[in-house]
Structure 1
Amino acid sequence: MSSRLGEALGGVPLCTLCVVAMCCAVHLAIFLLDTPITMYSIMARNVLYLGEWYRIITAAFVHASMMHIGFNMMSLLAIGGGLESDLGTVAMTMTVWWSVILVGGLYCAGEWLFADVRGGEHAREHLLQQAVGFSGVIFTLAVMEAQRSSEPYRMLMGMVKVPTKLYPWALMIVLQVMMKGEVSFMGHLAGAIVGILHTYGLTAPLLPSKQMLHDMEDWPGISAMAAALPNFKRCPPPPPAGEQHADSDAPSLRTLCKGIVGAIAYALTALWWVISAVLQIFGLYNPDPPPAGGWEAVAQGDVELGSRR
């Protein structure tokens, strides 16, 4: 039994395995010490007004229940393993840590914005809203993995086909409807947006270049780890010398706008797919063929929603 478990864990890429181990260790420590998770959860008021910035980090690795951590870790193993094999362990580690920070920061900014817009008692509700769990970062990784996938469609809840690039967004909406009050919509939305930022290269200034990642693998500690651990995944080779400058350039305003529009388009298109799926199940809607260029063109803003060429 232990040998089979060792073989299974040995096939999990190193960064993904370490994150799973860290989350499980934190959950076990909180259970044994009977520590209130509210001490580590993310809350916009405490972060923005009381300066408890550590909550941005701690909240990602704390989970509310065995079901919560079990679902999140199984999702991480399914998504993170394949993505790390493509990116490499060093790149995956950088991506995960920056995603934890960006998702937590965007969560607080989103709750603060809703509090300011809605005002009154709703403001207090948003500022005091608490969240824990790694699912925000998982949605980041899910969006990145979906963008890299060559599969045209995936099954949503085993009932309806959804374009692969819209799958994380559609799943986010379905989870919010089915588990309202039990999942953090703002946390999941922040994670999906950060995934779009990674996809469009808008976080490139925060991350090492491909050449730097490749060089880091030759550092003594990392090279020794790569030689000793078979589940260490090496980064893809850097681009030719003439193309390396593009990897380190800051994103242009056009790229920034394209990323923002893409995130909005993906969310709106996924929402329509969820609504249309429900209508199809009850026989109330017969969808037209997708527009020329496919739904990817719609999500990227090349084709307006609802239009046909």
Structure 2
Amino acid sequence: MFIRTESFAQYIRLYPVVTVLLAINIAIHLATMLPFVGKPILFSGAGANYLIAEGEWWRLVTPMFLHWGLMHLLFNMFSLFIFGPELERFAGKLRFLTIYTLSGLFGNIATFFLKDPMTISVGASGAIFGLFGAFGALVYYTKNAFPQLRQIMMPIIIISLIMTFLQPNINIVAHITGFIVGFLIGLSYFHPKRIVSWRKKKIHRVK
């Protein structure tokens, strides 16, 4: 299910939203590595709570596309690369993008309100945990129909949540908020009645 066997061209064609998100994050990180301009790019978009309080509201969005280092980027993008396609395929492009962006956004908003004013944070982790939350909702609704999904995702979700509290320098607030937001949106999107409605619309379009 989560083993990627597509060619590069197939991956881009089948999962355009995931591909664009990967490309944006990687391109911006490469830009932050450039001499002279790299650090200004990073710090002009980082989620600095004291600057958000002064009116720099874009910092509630831009941290989703910035990372402190290569390993930080690789962990988040690897998760997006592996788990994103199945959710995009199942939910659809717009719904997937909604889950991703709202989870990341509310993770940053929660960080602003709940953490120290001097907190500075970056990373797509809140959005990534939103994907995990959405999968949690999907498992909740399909636990009997798709036991394989439950067997794969539940250990990943549990381990990811546990590691959030064990690893140093982790924005716990963003992770947990992103997960909750993704789960709640997933409960709405993946409700059995709504799934039936999607299928009827698809059948109608085919006819």
Structure 2: distance between partners of 1:110 and 1:237: 43
- 1:153 aligns with 151
Give the superposition deviation at 1:13: 0.5
- 2:133 aligns with 143
For residues 283-298 of structure 1, the aligned pairs below 5 Å read none
Say which of 14, 17, 28 aligns to 1:15.
Answer: 17
- Residue-by-residue CA offset, 1:50-73 (whole Å, 9 max, x unaligned): 111100111110011111111111
Partner AA of 1:191 in structure 2: G
Structure 1 residues 136 and 85: CA distance shift in structure 2, 3 A: same
* TM superposition score normalised by structure 2: 0.75
Confirm or deny: 8 A CA contact 1:140 1:192 kept in the other structure.
Answer: yes
- 2:165 aligns with 176
* TM superposition score normalised by structure 1: 0.52
- Residue-by-residue CA offset, 1:97-140 (whole Å, 9 max, x unaligned): 333322221222222xxxxxxxxxxxxxx221111111110000
Any unmatched runs of 5+ in structure 2? 1-5, 140-145, 203-207
Higher helix share: 2
Structure 2: distance between partners of 1:195 and 1:173: 18
Confirm or deny: 8 A CA contact 1:169 1:192 kept in the other structure.
Answer: no
- 1:6 aligns with 8
- 2:187 aligns with 200
Confirm or deny: 8 A CA contact 1:41 1:55 kept in the other structure.
Answer: yes
**Which shows bigger deviation, 128-137 or 29-38?**
29-38
Any unmatched runs of 5+ in structure 1? 112-125, 155-163, 203-209, 215-234, 240-309
Confirm or deny: 8 A CA contact 1:43 1:131 kept in the other structure.
Answer: yes
| Aligned: 1:67 with 2:71 | yes
Percent identical among aligned pairs is: 22
Structure 2: distance between partners of 1:31 and 1:66: 10
Structure 1 residues 53 and 194: CA distance shift in structure 2, 3 A: same
Say which of 80, 87, 94 aligns to 2:91.
Answer: 87
For residues 25-174 of structure 1, the aligned pairs below 5 Å read 25-32=27-34, 33-36=37-40, 37-47=42-52, 49-111=53-115, 126-149=116-139, 150=146, 151-154=149-152, 164-165=153-154, 167-174=156-163
Count of residues paired in the alignment: 181
SS of the residue corresponding to residue 180 of structure 1 reads coil
- 1:116 aligns with none
